[in-house]
Homo-oligomer: A and B are copies of this chain.
Amino acid sequence: MIKTAANKSRASGRITLAMVAERAGVATMTASRAITQPDMVSQALRDRVEQAVTELGYVPNRAARALASSQSKVIAVLVPSLSNAVFTEVLAGVQDALDADDYQILIGNTRYSDKEEEKLIGTYLQSNPDGMLLSGLSHSPRVQQILTNSRVPVVSMMDMSTDPAQLTVGFSQFQAGHAMTRYLIEKGHKRIGFIGAQLDERTLRRAEGYRRAMLDAGLADIKLEVMVGEPSTIALGAELVGRMLAQAPDCDAIFCCNDDLAHGAIYQCQRRGIAVPSQLAICGFNDLPASAWMNPSLTTIGTPRYRIGFEAARLLRAVIKGEQPANRQIDLGFTLMARESA
């Protein structure tokens, strides 16, 4: 029967469990168990199956397993960027947390686009994932609808949610933006600018924190904001510091919404002969590796992105296993790194 199957035109040519079973002289079922639940098979048969597996070079077919068990062992992770070190560290945390569990991790890059996110979620849903890890809290209505219908467990990463039902791991982007602004105010700065790019939800929340602090201190001025939708780069930071200075020449400190922009701002100041921090204080957000090393070193917010990925994956795994997590919202906090630039 196995041989006939192999002769039929639809056979893939791969070694199948049935072939392994035949070689080991057991039923397919037993071969299956010997591989996936070895404890339930006698030592003797287990050995014979293992040997057949080795001799034949058997590789299980994941599609067949997924179809039969309706368990895909797939976890999809969506991040808005792969060129941003923040998210590659999130991914590293996710991978480390799931490493031993035989999960297949599907990494999706939404490129900061709701459309891309929708497309990726649609594609990934075809793989019937056991769970999903999403970046951010804000998703298009369609995405929310699709997610609800699919009944796939979802954990949101990066920011804290106000909805207690939502599973979330991150820190408050608003509070971090507020804390950095308070730091600059307490240093005696009065004309504190904010440079924001990409304008993703995290940047917008940081800007809200900045505005809250400026308003409360009576320092708010719309001229002190430079917001652009382009992706954050060093080159853009260099350009925007110029724009800020043109727009608010008396600006004495700039809070950049991330370190890339801040690096560009500092390099630009160096070229223009603007002393940092004495003439212009500059700070960033995320604490990338270069920030501690450059001269002047960069004052910034340290963010726990590796741990966000790690804890989010643990939380998702627990939920997939049917556990009721004690804490559905995990706030990992942030750290203000006061250095030379501000």
* A324 is an interface residue with CB less than 8 A from chain B: no
Are A92 and B88 neighbours in the complex by a CB distance under 8 Å?
no
Does A83 lie at the interface of the complex (its beta carbon under 8 Å from any beta carbon of B)? Answer: yes
Task: Establish whether residues B64 and A67, one from each chain, have CB atoms under 8 Å apart when the complex forms.
Answer: yes
Q: Which residue on chain B has the smallest CB distance to residue A295?
A: B270
- With A88-B88, A107-B107, A128-B62 as contacts: A263 and B293 at CB distance below 8 Å: yes
B-contacting residues, A277-295, CB 8 Å: 289-290, 293-295
Question: What per-residue 1/0 map shows which CB atoms of A261-274 lie under 8 Å from chain B?
Answer: 00110010011000
- Whether, in the assembled complex, A12 has its beta carbon less than 8 Å from a beta carbon of chain B, the answer is yes
A149 and B57: CB pair below 8 A? yes
**Chain A binding surface SS class:** helix
Give Cα distance in the complex from A123 to B59, angstroms.
9
Residues of B within 8 A of A127 (CB): 62-63, 104
Residue among B10, B83, B123 making CB contact with A85, cutoff 8 Å: B83
Residues of chain A from 146 to 180 with CB closer than 8 A to chain B in the complex: 149-150
Name the one of B12, B57, B88 contacting A83, with C-beta atoms under 8 angstroms. B88
Stretch in A21-29, A211-219, A230-238, A327-335 with 4+ CB within 8 Å of B: A230-238
Residue on B nearest A62 in the bound complex, by CB: B126
Q: What residues of chain A have their CB less than 8 Å away from a CB belonging to chain B?
A: 10, 12, 14, 57, 59-64, 66-67, 70, 72, 82-83, 85, 88-89, 91-92, 95, 102, 104, 106-107, 109, 122-123, 125-128, 149-150, 233-235, 238, 263-264, 267, 270-271, 289-290, 293-295
